[in-house]
Chains A and B, each alone.
Chain A
Amino acid sequence: MPALTVAIEAKWFPPVGDAPAKHVLGEIAFSMAPGEVLALTGPSGCGKTTLLNLIAGLDRSFDGRIEPAPGRRLAYVFQEPRLLPWRTVEENIRLVLDGGAHDDARVRTILAEVGLGSAGKLFASRLSLGMARRAAVARAFVIEPGLLLLDEPFVSLDEQTAARLRLLLRQLLALHRTTAILVTHNLREAAALAHRLILLSASPGRLLGDIEVPLSEAERQDERANEAVRASLLAAHGLGELDRLAAPAEAWP
């Protein structure tokens, strides 16, 4: 049984004031096996975040259907960390737990896993962006989600911090065998983290390609293998064309 089935026919934003209704998403259909990590990519403004919000159930007005496997909870790492600044890191993690007897141990374990073992008592308002992202990742993994959504979790970090967080995420995904969808502009990142690449067209976003990333776990850790995949993706799937049409120059490496 798939972990998620998506069959969207169309998504419109209703008219606001003088602005007419906007066609945001066209036909998009795919399904995910349990434990699969999927990278969602496409030019800026093609509706990637909208698609994540539909899958998360934050927006329910669209044509089509989205069926997550029943019974498991959903976790979302938003573009901004969305922590409660008036609570400590520990309290932020405990917020999403069910108040059971093992909560304290679970919070401690997950904070150690993301490298925030000694920051648990800090107010979230005191964290750097890199640390806040780690806390948001910890909050997502602590509930052992049936499906994890990540919306560009590495943007506006310096390259070194982003690389460390990327490595951490790869380890956590392997450790917890999490089913995940990762929105990214970065094909090297997609190659390093995902088993599959879902390509959306320029707005309104339609499914343009559904591509296996042909790398073993060992090869994923190799920068040159990722680079080779990126190059072949660029060549084989006309991503250069997309780049020229819609995306800002720096968005497509």
Chain B
Amino acid sequence: MAHSGPVSATRATRRSAAAAAGERRSPWAAAGEAWSRILLPAISILALLALWQLAASQAANPRLMPAPLTVFQALIDETARGELPYHLAVTLLRVAASFALAMSIGIAVGLAMGRSQLVDRLGNPWLLFFLNLPALVTIILAYIWIGLIEAAAITAVALNKIPNVAVTIREGARALDPGLMEMAQVFRVPRLRVLREIVLPQLYPYLAAAARSGLALIWKIVLVVELLGRSNGVGFQLGVYFQLFDVAGILAYALAFIAVVQLIEWGILQPLEQRLSRWRR
């Protein structure tokens, strides 16, 4: 091997070591790794189902602790009747509306607080107040003050989420590279282009974090809002099944809910993040 400077030498060594490791790894080893990536989670899920089945078989009242198959049957029945898709769609719409509202207001507030010390000092006490206000209080007050209508539900959910988004985006706005802003100022890059080309790309990791934790929170609060003051949606249905003591129905809705959340994570959030971080590779 040719001798070069210390830096490039280390890099070359590391590269050739990695290449050697790649050559040494047999196709069997690669197949084994793929298997363990699929097989181990599958085994873990089967174990959970087995545990559930065991608990159900020991239960005195099978209505209060239904077996997995009973729950899947309930899931299929509800879907066939069209009930589950309808309520799931209504809930999804509410999630989408409050998510959009919370993100746009939260981003605006976070950017303003991150870029201006005056706004930050004025806004911080408000932020602390809303961060620590229990979600249930916001929901009840929204229904009392606005009425038992859709707007109250969406507002209540968004109000619960805006402070978290604002705090995350504020961190991002504080970390903006001042050198790039100076460059944009000297070259007189138009304001909108600065936002799109320079500010937003630096905020993407923070936006992704806010979106992810935002969805996780909104999913849960939307159900409470529906339980307390709407006549449709997954939360409303759970309330109905609670009154009927129909545990199979409750678990069926819960499973459908988990599946949809995970589909959104795999189908939308992860591909989006990969696309936005292409330049790092």
Q: Which A residues contact B (CB, under 8 angstroms)?
A: 56-58, 73-76, 78, 80, 82, 84-87, 91, 95-96, 123, 125, 139, 143
Q: A86-B201, A95-B193 are in contact. Are A76 and B279 (CB under 8 A)?
A: no
Q: A143–B179 contact, CB under 8 A?
A: no
Q: Chain B binding site: helix, strand, loop or mixed by DSSP?
A: helix
* Minimum distance in angstroms from B235 CB to a CB of chain A: 40
Nearest residue, chain A, Cβ from B185: A58
Q: A84-B197, A84-B198, A95-B193 are in contact. Are A125 and B280 (CB under 8 A)?
A: yes
Contacts of B7 in A (CB 8 A): none
Q: B186–A76 contact, CB under 8 A?
A: yes
Q: Given A87, A95, A125, which contacts B189 in the complex, CB threshold below 8 Å?
A: A95
Q: A57–B187 contact, CB under 8 A?
A: no
Contacts of B198 in A (CB 8 A): 84
Nearest residue, chain A, Cβ from B179: A82
* Minimum distance in angstroms from B112 CB to a CB of chain A: 23
* Minimum distance in angstroms from A218 CB to a CB of chain B: 34
Nearest residue, chain B, Cβ from A76: B186
Q: B187–A96 contact, CB under 8 A?
A: yes
Is B11's beta carbon under 8 Å from chain A?
no
In the assembly, what is the distance between CA of A134 and CA of B208, in Å?
Answer: 33
How many positions in chain B have a CB within 8 Å of any CB in the partner chain?
16
In the assembly, what is the distance between CA of A53 and CA of B6, in Å?
Answer: 37
In the assembly, what is the distance between CA of A74 and CA of B182, in Å?
Answer: 12
Given contacts A73-B187, A95-B189, A123-B278, 9 further A-B contacts (CB under 8 A): A56-B186, A58-B186, A74-B187, A75-B186, A76-B187, A84-B197, A87-B197, A87-B201, A87-B279
Q: B197–A95 contact, CB under 8 A?
A: yes
Is B183's beta carbon under 8 Å from chain A?
yes
Q: Could you give 20 example pairs across A and B, Cβ below 8 Å?
A: A57-B186, A58-B186, A73-B187, A75-B186, A75-B187, A76-B187, A78-B182, A82-B179, A82-B180, A82-B182, A82-B183, A84-B197, A87-B197, A87-B279, A91-B197, A95-B187, A96-B187, A96-B189, A123-B279, A125-B279
Is B25's beta carbon under 8 Å from chain A?
no
Nearest residue, chain A, Cβ from B193: A95
Q: A80–B186 contact, CB under 8 A?
A: no
Q: A78-B179, A125-B279 are in contact. Are A84 and B201 (CB under 8 A)?
A: yes
Q: Which B residues contact A (CB, under 8 angstroms)?
A: 179-180, 182-183, 185-189, 193, 197-198, 201, 278-280
Contacts of A86 in B (CB 8 A): 201, 279
Contacts of A82 in B (CB 8 A): 179-180, 182-183
In the assembly, what is the distance between CA of A78 and CA of B188, in Å?
Answer: 15
Contacts of B201 in A (CB 8 A): 84, 86-87
Residue of A56, A76, A95 ringed by the most chain B CB atoms within 10 A:
A95
Nearest residue, chain A, Cβ from B197: A95
Q: B182–A73 contact, CB under 8 A?
A: no
Q: Given B183, B189, B197, B278, which contacts A76 in the complex, CB threshold below 8 Å?
A: B183
* Minimum distance in angstroms from B205 CB to a CB of chain A: 11
Contacts of B189 in A (CB 8 A): 95-96
Nearest residue, chain B, Cβ from A82: B183
Nearest residue, chain B, Cβ from A53: B182
Contacts of B193 in A (CB 8 A): 95
Contacts of A96 in B (CB 8 A): 187, 189
